[in-house]
Amino acid sequence: MRSHRALLACLAVLCVLPAMHPGDIQWVGDEPMLIAGALRANGHHSAATHGLTGTAGAAYGPFPTWLYQAYLAVSSNLVVLVALRAILMTGVLALSLLWLCRTLGLWPWFIPALLCSPYLWFYARALWDNTFNLPLCALAFASTTSFLCRGRPWTLFLALGCCVAMVLTHLMAFAFVVPVTLYLGVRARTRLRQLWWQLALLGGAGLAVSFPYLSVLRASIAGEGGTPPMPGGWLFPLFGGRILSAQRIDDIFGAEWLAHDTGAWGRLAGLAGIVSLLAFALVWAGLGVAVVTARGGLRTPSAGADRVRGEAALLALLIVAGQMVLDGLTAKAGFTHYFNATWIAFALLAWLAVDSLRARGLRAAVATVLAASTLTVSLYLLVRIHRSGPARLPYGATLANQVEVARELNRYGPGTTIRVEVINVLRFPIALAVLRALSPVPGPPLPAATLRLVYATDDPVDGRIRIVQN
């Protein structure tokens, strides 16, 4: 009982961690475009029909925009939105992992090691559409395994509802949704036939909600040429352990910015990143454990713990295979966020590998090493961004910094000219434009002036910005 309370306390701390310094999030291209889309839809007094447009021209789903529409209807404070979103995201992840742990009888103390990932810390905070699939896939997987174990209808409806929400979030969700729905159709067909009328109602509701988006999606992909398969895309899912580690974190925070810190704290974070390679080994070992677990579990005639663990292991393998097919056919490779919709499969593979260690001390040591390495990097990023500023590229000035600048700009009257000398502001002018639209005009305007938007310091990697008057 004491161990259970300690675990819950640990998870509570990890759920609050991403909500610390919420104003320090990245605010560049996709995030302000999502908020702008929500503001536009609210201005038209209607629900958005789609979200962002992908690089290949396909429209992504409106589910994230709907959530932001609901929030913006009652508040314009984006910093508070970040904090609420971070707690909700990590809370759903933690509860889903606890549910999965209880269903499969897994070792519970590996959950903190999974939640310490700097990628999960960053994605929980970022106002980005793709990231919503992290908690949705975890909740869908946990409810699917619970349904396979106990057959309760509400768990099936929850799983399918999450799948619909995932498709309405990002098309990468098909790597998860297709294997899960096909597996349920094959393995639970008898139970599904018993629930046919409830499933028909759920399917009708899902189609009604999705129809406006599906119409937009069909129009957006009409005439688009196919993408030639990429050999690396087929193999890229074998590196899914990256999302559990701190590897390639410089893709988000900037290699130059990370290398610029030569102090002890920076060197420790670099060493921790190397140690976090352990996550790759656990996922690769978990592939073998999952094959053995699936074979043994599915041969068990009774619907016990071994049986459902075998079902979950096989489902995780099928999801990884789905990711291989999607990445190979769409020529996707290289970026960690490609794993957001299938994250739970890689988490389960690593978990199975750790759970297979019979020596309790060894199991605890492996989990502790992984958690310590990834948590060190997460805390390093949290503290360094807040104290000395983020990278100029690709991260750019934080949301809080840009909100401050937007409010100051709104003080000046018509006729004010602004000379921009900040790279990310030149690349993404919509970022400040959205914040200026959300920021109230503070009293009587100041006289028109000639202003310059510049970097706040001479440090070549510091992304903070400020306004100076000529």
Q: Is residue 354 part of a domain?
A: yes
**In this structure, are 313 and 426 located in the same domain?**
no
Q: Is residue 212 part of a domain?
A: yes
Q: Is residue 109 part of a domain?
A: yes
Q: What pLDDT score was predicted for residue 303?
A: 62
Q: What pLDDT score was predicted for residue 226?
A: 53
**In this structure, are 114 and 198 located in the same domain?**
yes
Q: Is residue 266 part of a domain?
A: no
Taking only the tens place, the pLDDT of each residue in 194-208 is: 988 888 998 899 899
Scanning 105-152, the segments in alpha helix (DSSP H) are 111-115, 118-125, 133-150
Q: Is 160 helix (H, G, I), strand (E, B) or coil?
A: helix
455-457-460 Cα angle (round to 5): 80
**In this structure, are 373 and 411 located in the same domain?**
no
265-269-270 Cα angle (round to 5): 115
**In this structure, are 367 and 415 located in the same domain?**
no
Tens-of-pLDDT digits for all 470 residues of the chain? Answer: 778 899 999 999 999 999 999 999 999 989 999 999 999 999 999 999 999 988 777 899 999 999 999 999 999 999 999 999 999 999 999 999 999 999 999 999 999 999 999 999 999 999 999 999 999 999 999 999 999 999 899 999 999 999 999 999 999 999 999 999 999 999 888 888 898 888 899 889 989 999 999 889 888 876 455 555 556 778 999 999 999 999 999 999 999 999 999 999 999 999 999 999 999 999 999 999 999 999 887 777 666 677 889 999 999 999 999 999 999 988 888 899 999 999 999 999 999 999 999 899 999 999 999 999 999 999 999 999 999 999 999 999 999 999 999 999 999 988 899 999 999 999 999 999 999 999 887 778 888 899 999 999 999 999 999 999 87
Q: Which of 354, 385, 416 is the last residue of a domain?
A: 385
Q: Give the separation between CA 240 and CA 242, rounded to whole angstroms.
A: 5
Q: Is the pTM higher than 0.75? A: yes
Q: Is residue 263 part of a domain?
A: no
Q: Which of 334, 358, 385 is the last residue of a domain?
A: 385
Q: What pLDDT score was predicted for residue 230?
A: 57
**In this structure, are 349 and 464 located in the same domain?**
no
Taking only the tens place, the pLDDT of each residue in 239-298 is: 999 999 999 999 999 999 999 999 999 999 999 999 999 999 999 999 999 999 998 877
Q: Give the separation between CA 354 and CA 108, rounded to whole angstroms.
A: 11
**In this structure, are 225 and 359 located in the same domain?**
yes
DSSP string, 315-349: HHHHHHHHHHHHHHHHT--S-GGGGTTTHHHHHHH
Q: Is residue 164 part of a domain?
A: yes
Q: What pLDDT score was predicted for residue 192?
A: 87
Q: In what order do the strands lie in the sheet with 417-420?
A: 417-420, 450-455, 465-469
**In this structure, are 343 and 461 located in the same domain?**
no
Contacts of 159 (CB under 8 A, 6+ apart): 140, 141, 143, 144, 147, 180, 184
Contact criterion met (CB below 8 Å) for 241 and 370:
no
* Total of domains in the chain: 2
Q: What pLDDT score was predicted for residue 219?
A: 85
Q: What pLDDT score was predicted for residue 331?
A: 85
**In this structure, are 413 and 301 located in the same domain?**
no
For the chain, how many helices (H) and strands (E)?
Answer: 22, 3
Which class for 417: exposed (0-12), middle (13-18), buried (19 or more C-beta within 10 A)? exposed
**In this structure, are 81 and 30 located in the same domain?**
yes
**In this structure, are 337 and 434 located in the same domain?**
no
Strand partners, 417: 450
**In this structure, are 198 and 319 located in the same domain?**
yes
Q: Give the separation between CA 233 and CA 342, rounded to whole angstroms.
A: 15
Q: Which of 358, 385, 412 is the last residue of a domain?
A: 385
Q: What pLDDT score was predicted for residue 89?
A: 97
Q: Is 461 helix (H, G, I), strand (E, B) or coil?
A: coil
Report CA-CA distances (Å) from 383 to 63, 162, 273, 378.
32, 34, 16, 9
Q: What pLDDT score was predicted for residue 241?
A: 96
**In this structure, are 339 and 432 located in the same domain?**
no
The domain of 459 spans 399-469
Measured from the Cβ of residue 261, the count of other Cβ atoms closer than 10 Å reads 16
Q: What pLDDT score was predicted for residue 232?
A: 72
Mean pLDDT taken over the chain: 93
The candidate with the shortest Cα–Cα distance to 175, out of 350, 316, 298, 352, is 316
Q: Give the separation between CA 1 and CA 336, rounded to whole angstroms.
A: 37
